[in-house]
């Protein structure tokens, strides 16, 4: 039976790599699929992994109707045995519902990949809808690690190495970034609560007054 499957995890846990592997496995068996993505690190219309793999994809716009897109393709004699969608967190709940209709009415498997929560530990609307209606939610088993070595469970936005909790929910960035740029870092819950990134931990270790484990909780911490 066709399914809507949501593969989730933090940044840096191999979601895009798995998406590319699923595409390779199916295309090698003669199946034809469609790949969609949004705001990929490699630029518009690309699906890429941090291992250096990249393939072309359809860039998802705010007004893209997935069900209409697939119906038009099939009506014109096209073929789609499956759909792969990366960066699913950036979709609207309406678009997630359209993907469910692709599965139910067109009988096409949809594999969606994305992070669940933003840099404030709040659910992305697209991810929330996927958790609500997906046939399966698979948490990826490749564990990203916090700078302390613990399992990373939270995505942090950084500016000049310091964690920030203000700003728009969607700001494109990556875990590999210049020191003065907006970037992202994966942290364990404890260090996300304390807003302690790798950079601030190093600074604290050099201070004679504050050790990283004793850093105070900033305003907004639990």
Q: Supply the DSSP string of 24-44, one letter for each residue.
A: HHHHTTT--EEEEESS-TT-T
Q: Supply the DSSP string of 32-93, one letter for each residue.
A: -EEEEESS-TT-TTEEE-TTS-EEE-EEPPTT--HHHHHHHHHHTT---SEEEESSGGGS-H
How far apart are the C-alpha atoms of 134 and 222, rounded to whole Å?
Answer: 31
Q: What secondary structure letter does DSSP report for 123?
A: B
Q: Provide the annotated active-site residues.
A: 87
The CA-based diameter of the chain, rounded to the nearest angstrom, is 70
Q: Find, among 183, 189, 180, 114, the residue nearest to 146 by Cα.
A: 189
């Amino acid at each position: 039976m066709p399914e809507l499957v949501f593969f989730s995890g933090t940044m840096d846990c191999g979601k895009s790599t798995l998406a590319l592997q699923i595409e390779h496995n199916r295309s090698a068996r003669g199946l034809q699929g469609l790949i969609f993505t949004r705001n990929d690190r490699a630029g518009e219309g690309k699906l890429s992994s941090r291992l250096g793999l990249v393939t072309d994809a359809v860039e998802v716009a705010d007004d893209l109707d997935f069900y209409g897109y697939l119906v038009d393709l099939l009506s014109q004699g096209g073929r789609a045995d499956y759909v792969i969608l990366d960066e699913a967190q950036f979709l609207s709940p309406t678009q997630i519902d359209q993907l469910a209709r692709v599965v139910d009415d067109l009988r096409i498997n949809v594999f969606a990949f994305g992070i669940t929560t933003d840099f404030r530990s709040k659910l992305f609307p697209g991810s929330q809808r996927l958790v609500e209606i997906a046939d399966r939610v698979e948490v990826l088993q490749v564990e990203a690690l916090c700078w302390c070595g613990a399992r990373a469970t939270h995505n942090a936005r950084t500016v000049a190495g310091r964690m920030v909790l203000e700003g728009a929910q969607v700001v494109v960035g990556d875990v590999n970034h210049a020191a003065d740029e907006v970037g992202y870092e994966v942290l364990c819950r404890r260090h996300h609560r304390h807003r302690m990134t790798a950079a601030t931990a190093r600074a604290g270790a050099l201070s004679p007054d504050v050790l990283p484990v004793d850093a105070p909780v900033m305003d907004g911490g639990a």
